[in-house]
Structure 1
Amino acid sequence: MTVHQPSPFPGTSAQVAFDRRELQDILGLYGRMVAAGEWRDYGISCLRDSAVFSVFRRTAENPLYRIEKHPRLRLRQGMYAVVGMDGQILKRGHELKSVLRVLERKLIRAVD
């Protein structure tokens, strides 16, 4: 979990961000999905209480999926969640890799 230290500048607050290991896992999945032609763009938001990695099929659309990190939920349901386009939580948990498995299943296709 990465929570930046409070800013030395008055009026600004700390932000939550993905650390290097988390980004490596997320971007690894993103690269495989881009190679499969499923995803084309992404955006990262670092907010005061959460960090969000949004995945898009096209740039001008709403995100297909959001991978969210909420550190305040780490002792309850788990701080990682995958949220679908309609706002439904597809998977939530304490480990990022196990939460991302719900999206990796989309890569598995039957070969005719």
Structure 2
Amino acid sequence: MTKKSSPSHIISLLLNGLFLRCPKCNQGRVLRGYLTKADSCSECGESYEGLNADDGPAWFVMIFVGILLVPVLITLGITDAFPMWGNVVAITVFTTGFTLALLPPTKGIFIAILWYMRQQK
């Protein structure tokens, strides 16, 4: 097993993606806005051209939030602790909040994985 494919290297790569850092130098930012991918790293100059995460992060986040949402919906449906309007507000806030919070880190992880796969070629 080479150093580039060791488990510690892969974990480090995923953490860099999670914290939106450059997968090569661990310093620069991968995103220049909320979800806008930078053209290259501001620190080391690594190009991010061709690393198009496209809809992958959105699909992953929607599936993950959906899995978290189902038990909440079942619990709110079984109990009558809140009025219906309270349930709607709670579900809307929960879904929107988690989706917006998880999209940038998920896109960073996808870009880090794509960068790693490009390096392996």
Q: TM-score, normalised by structure 1?
A: 0.26
Q: Which has the higher contact order (CA 8 A, sep 6+)?
A: 2
Report which of the two has the higher share of helix. Answer: 2
Q: TM-score, normalised by structure 2?
A: 0.24
